[in-house]
Structure 1
């Protein structure tokens, strides 16, 4: 009898997050599932790892099901590292991260703990996908996500991914009937126009709350932002090699060693 694919499931919203629970239910239809997820929310952690404190991973049971689950004290990237090195008894065939409560499209991928977990798996040569729903509410309805998550994960298991490539999937906050399908896209050029709300605590010390407005600077109709605004699931292949290859020749023309 053929061995089922081993699927590592993680996230950044914490092990009890509804998005993660939905992702688990979809993945157990595709293979053997092991969950290693943070014990508390880790949104916006990016690719942070724990270096100066102890890490813990505790076996837990949150739902009925065949999956094995571990609650980890570390970041999303820690969860993947610990899973691969200490918890799993074989190399996973796929790592899925999410379903995140909120967007990880465009520039948000840089800050995302969800995507950093997927990227960490990709660094290890494991096909990996990050899934996000454009609804930040804890009570978000993930029902419309299920078929798209399953379709994309099935194809990743079947076809694999190139070394150095991870998939970033964002799902609009619409009903299944309203979603038009999946569109393969590029990452839109966008940024956050940020402000700090400066206040004083009761002891008179200044403190700050970060706020800001997301601004899409890209008018292209081949971007993730366009797809999401027009009712499509966006599917963006991303890479973690940050080398600007197009600028190497230019740099070589600089007089750097004179």
Structure 2
């Protein structure tokens, strides 16, 4: 009988290789394939799709997740995916999993998220990819409550082909397992951060600034958004892509071609 090779599952994140979220994700994913972990050697939250071009990149073998291959990388989450796909692995992974992030990456947060940028990079590389986030910023967050759903989403994504260039943005509300209402496939809510910079002084009397602000959902009553799903006890799944073209306005802007 011909031996069937188990899928290669690349696991990364933006909270760093020591974060509890990636430990949990790698453990769950190990039920479905051969685990390769390439993750930042320190927290890289809010890095978006940044890549390292003006300094060196370093990788170091580690052994925190009982993975077949495991490296800590000095770069960003996107660097980690690029390094894994183009240098460390001899063949492309069957799926890229990013997370589980400590904190939400719903709505506009997807733009700033290192977690989701790693998943988007995986999709750009032609690999099915998923970014997972739990709406709990605490380092002692209990990821196990959502294990059943995380497992099913990974399993279904390995079984069923994802569209080219599309990844999944999965956000999990902070709930006990019994309180989850299920999964909703939804769109990204129209929301934004109303930001301000707090001015402070360091011990030497010099000014510095700390970014703070408030998250505002502009369509709280819309039933088809990730924000609504999370608020109402559902795990939100948003198909996400890198194409930022406002396609419906292409025709409206044709007048520029007459200038």
TM-score (normalised: structure 2): 0.96
Q: Which residue of 2 aligns with 1:147?
A: 148
1:68 & 1:23 partners in 2: Cα distance? 15
- Aligned with 2:22 (options 8, 20, 23): 20
2:63 & 2:83 partners in 1: Cα distance? 19
1:141 & 1:30 partners in 2: Cα distance? 22
Higher mean Cα deviation, 72-81 or 199-208?
199-208
Within 5 Å, which residues of 2 pair with 1:55-70? 55-63=57-65, 65-70=66-71
Q: Which residue of 2 aligns with 1:80?
A: 81
Q: Which residue of 2 aligns with 1:11?
A: 13
2:43 & 2:231 partners in 1: Cα distance? 27
2:235 & 2:204 partners in 1: Cα distance? 48
Q: Could you tell me whether the CA contact under 8 Å between 1:198 and 1:206 is conserved in 2?
A: yes
Q: Which residue of 2 aligns with 1:136?
A: 137
Q: Displacement of 1:150 after TM fit?
A: 1.0
> Partner of 2:151: helix, strand, or coil?
helix
Q: Displacement of 1:200 after TM fit?
A: 2.7
> Partner of 1:249: helix, strand, or coil?
coil
Q: Which residue of 2 aligns with 1:205?
A: 206
* RMSD of aligned alpha carbons: 1.1
1:145 & 1:12 partners in 2: Cα distance? 20
1:226 & 1:244 partners in 2: Cα distance? 24
1:253 partnered with 2:251: no
> Partner of 2:32: helix, strand, or coil?
coil
Q: Displacement of 1:257 after TM fit?
A: 4.7
Q: Could you tell me whether the CA contact under 8 Å between 2:37 and 2:67 is conserved in 1?
A: no
Higher mean Cα deviation, 204-213 or 181-190?
204-213
Q: Could you tell me whether the CA contact under 8 Å between 2:134 and 2:171 is conserved in 1?
A: yes
What are the Cα deviations for residues 132-170 of structure 1, in whole angstroms up to 9, with x where unaligned?
000000111111121111111111111121112110000
1:106 partnered with 2:107: yes
Q: Could you tell me whether the CA contact under 8 Å between 2:132 and 2:170 is conserved in 1?
A: yes
Q: Could you tell me whether the CA contact under 8 Å between 1:10 and 1:20 is conserved in 2?
A: yes
Q: Could you tell me whether the CA contact under 8 Å between 2:36 and 2:67 is conserved in 1?
A: no
Gaps of 5+ in 2: none
Give the 3 Å change call, closer, same or farther, for CA 66–111 of structure 1 in structure 2: closer
Within 5 Å, which residues of 2 pair with 1:224-239? 224-239=226-241
> Partner of 1:25: helix, strand, or coil?
helix
Gaps of 5+ in 1: none
Higher mean Cα deviation, 203-212 or 81-90?
203-212
Q: Displacement of 1:203 after TM fit?
A: 3.9
Q: Which residue of 2 aligns with 1:167?
A: 168
Q: Displacement of 1:201 after TM fit?
A: 2.8
